[in-house]
Structure 1
């Protein structure tokens, strides 16, 4: 069985998230998703939606076999626990594949690192970004 890991913040779900997870699932037999805890999100604005709710929403998606929250201290704790064959990064995630592969090797974790493709909007007003969803809400409701 080929085990795949995807990870992300997954704040305000949109079609881009589903594309990423569907593509990650197609790379193996079982998809495990690690949802970042709000306190660990430092590369962008903190999530609007709470940790457990984001995890629950991801767990409810068809491509996902298991969703869990990330560890607050050590990024590698859930990775070691899952023991994946491949980690799939989202097309726009800030991680560098080579750096992540080297970090995994340093930790003694033997798995591939892949990157999912981007999903293009399918119609004019389709939003594929949490930040853009928030901007639209603010434009229309604030």
Structure 2
């Protein structure tokens, strides 16, 4: 990295670079504690400061010297979108570019014993348009759930607090396939609203008499 700032701005630019270095050191510290979410946020702040200086023409950074944004993978059913989904994706976006894997209908049937409410193509279309999602793809058919990870080759996999995966086993299984992936589980369970899970939404619909009457009405293709 080379300073290009005029003399009268060099002191300010150097101070900003010092702040970026502090964020970088903080990132290493939090990573050593296993607090990867905070670590990646510190990295993002560091990159943001340096990016601003670069775009203003105040520093010169050689190609490849700036760390590329990490590829962050999130996977799930995403059946009836609720605030918990938005929270998970927004947290993943703090760490890098988010790629969402939407579970196939057959996978949901096999693992949950029921079909999803919305078919896979509809769920995929909705997820593609959520803020913070760079790319969304359907998962693979069959029981090999790690095959899609081999295809995407993410830097980080984010697990929600309720997703039934053992982080250590998942990381070990990936390493056996030659994949070095950071596995991060969100500790916070988003409960800011009453209906923050697909199950809660379905139960609410099933217990509401007014909604049951709506279901019994003929479908006149009226948007409600």
Verify same fold: TM over 0.5: yes
Contact 2:87–2:190 under 8 Å retained in 1: no
What residue ranges of structure 1 are gaps of 5+ in the alignment?
none
User: C-alpha displacement at 1:43, in angstroms?
Assistant: 3.5
Structure 2 Cα separation of the partners of residues 7 and 48 of structure 1: 17
The structure with higher relative contact order (CA 8 Å, sep 6+) is 1
Of the structure 1 ranges 11-20 and 81-90, higher mean CA displacement relative to structure 2 is found in 81-90
8 A contact 1:20–1:117 mirrored in 2 = no
Contact 2:158 2:184 in 1 (8 A): yes
Structure 2 regions of 5+ residues with no counterpart? Answer: 1-67, 213-224
1:31 is the counterpart of 2:98? yes
Question: Deviation at 1:107?
Answer: 1.1
* Secondary structure class of the residue paired with 1:17: helix
**What is the CA-CA distance between 1:76 and the residue it aligns to?**
2.7
Could you state the TM-score of these two structures normalised by the residue count of structure 1? 0.90
Q: Which structure has the highest helix share of the two?
A: 2
Quickly say closer, same or farther: Cα 1:47–1:118, change in 2 above 3 A. farther
Measured on the aligned residues, the alpha-carbon RMSD in Å equals 1.4
Tell me the alpha carbon deviations over residues 19-57 of structure 1, each in whole angstroms, 9 at most, x when there is no partner: 0011111112x1100001121123334311100111111
Q: 1:69 aligns with which of 134, 138, 153?
A: 138
Runs of 4+ displaced beyond 3 Å = none
- State the partner residue of 1:20: 88
Structure with max Cα Rg: 2
1:101 aligned to 2:171? Answer: yes
Task: Identify which range, 8-17 or 40-49, moves more after superposition.
Answer: 40-49
